[in-house]
């Protein structure tokens, strides 16, 4: 695929996104973007503008921001958090050892964990996602769950990796639905508040349901 310098963010986009959400009558929206390493803040200000525009146009809506790592820029992350998304989502994507297979330096794994940890320290409800089937072991997956929990990650999605093009790594294993259920149980034991795990699960899959499930847990009366 040919690469080139993208256009600057469209200042009219936040209002159009907010209008589209209003026309669809959505109660929960997930906002994401391509990586914009060409921008000084990685696109953080645009994320914040979109979140604020959605809220202004759609009172009561819940907004999840699915962000890149912003190159580890703490100020960029703070810009998004100041817009107060209901959920801050950043995908870890795979296990640490397999980062080279997805053409990312292994140190990016720790940087992603740092993003989630920093968001959690700011009081955000945090979320991440994994694609499995690239050749990781069961132990690798459980270790990744533990890494995410140490970073304070609250919500988790686990789905089957599918090879998008012949230029991408092939699928090493197709997990069964039963295996996905086992991983979901293991993730809950690790301490995640909510987990959705299955062959067709992606990072935004049942996003609203996960959020509502956490809110219902918070509303339960304490045992006396």
192-218 pLDDT, tens digit each: 999 999 999 999 999 999 999 999 887
222 pLDDT band (50/70/90 cuts)?
very low
Q: pTM value?
A: 0.93
Q: Residue 175's domain is classified under what CATH number?
A: 3.20.20.70
Domain that holds residue 211: 88-224
Compute the mean pLDDT over every residue in the chain, rounded to the nearest whole number: 94
The structure tokens listed for 157 are: 């999605």
pLDDT value at position 162?
A: 96
Q: Say whether both 130 and 191 belong to one domain.
A: yes
Edge to edge, the sheet with strand 62-66 lists 28-31, 62-66, 87-89, 126-132, 155-160, 194-198
Q: Say whether both 136 and 54 belong to one domain.
A: no
* Four-residue CA torsion sign, 63, 51, 198, 137: negative
Could you give the number of structural domains in the chain?
A: 2
Res 224 pLDDT > 70? no
101 pLDDT band (50/70/90 cuts)?
confident
Q: Say whether both 22 and 98 belong to one domain.
A: no
Q: Say whether both 200 and 216 belong to one domain.
A: yes
Q: Say whether both 71 and 102 belong to one domain.
A: no
- Structural domain includes residue 197: yes
pLDDT value at position 38?
A: 87
Q: Say whether both 131 and 207 belong to one domain.
A: yes
Q: Say whether both 80 and 92 belong to one domain.
A: no
Are the beta carbons of 183 and 192 closer than 8 angstroms? no
Q: Say whether both 35 and 143 belong to one domain.
A: no
The residues facing 29 across adjacent strands are 63
The structure tokens listed for 6 are: 């993208």
pLDDT value at position 220?
A: 53
Are the beta carbons of 69 and 112 closer than 8 angstroms? yes
Per-residue pLDDT reduced to its tens digit, 63-74: 999 999 999 999
Q: Say whether both 40 and 92 belong to one domain.
A: no
pLDDT value at position 3?
A: 67
Q: Say whether both 92 and 107 belong to one domain.
A: yes
Taking only Cα atoms into account, the Rg of the chain, rounded to an integer number of angstroms, comes to 18
User: Which one of 36, 59, 85 terminates a domain?
Assistant: 85
Q: Say whether both 203 and 171 belong to one domain.
A: yes
179 pLDDT band (50/70/90 cuts)?
very high
Per-residue pLDDT reduced to its tens digit, 32-62: 998 898 899 999 999 999 999 999 999 999 9
- Structural domain includes residue 1: no
């Amino acid at each position: 695929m040919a690469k080139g310098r993208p256009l600057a963010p469209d200042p009219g986009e936040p209002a159009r996104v907010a209008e589209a959400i209003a026309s669809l009558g959505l109660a929960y929206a997930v906002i994401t973007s391509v990586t914009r390493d060409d921008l000084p803040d990685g696109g953080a200000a645009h994320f914040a503008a979109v979140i604020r525009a959605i809220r202004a146009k759609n009172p009561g809506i819940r907004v999840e921001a699915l962000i890149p790592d912003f190159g580890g820029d703490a100020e960029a992350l703070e810009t998004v958090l100041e817009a107060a998304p209901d959920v801050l989502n950043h995908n870890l994507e795979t296990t640490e050892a397999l980062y080279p297979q997805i053409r990312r330096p292994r140190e990016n794994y720790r940087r992603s964990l740092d993003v989630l940890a920093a968001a959690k320290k700011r009081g955000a409800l945090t979320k991440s996602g994994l694609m499995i089937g690239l050749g990781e072991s069961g132990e690798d997956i459980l270790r990744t769950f533990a890494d995410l929990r140490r970073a304070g990650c609250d919500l988790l999605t686990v789905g089957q990796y599918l090879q998008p093009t012949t230029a991408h790594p092939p699928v090493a294993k197709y997990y069964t639905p039963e295996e996905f259920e086992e991983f979901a149980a293991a993730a809950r034991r690790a301490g995640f508040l909510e987990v959705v795990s299955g062959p067709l699960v992606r990072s935004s899959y049942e996003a609203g349901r996960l959020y509502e499930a956490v809110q219902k847990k918070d509303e339960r009366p304490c045992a006396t």
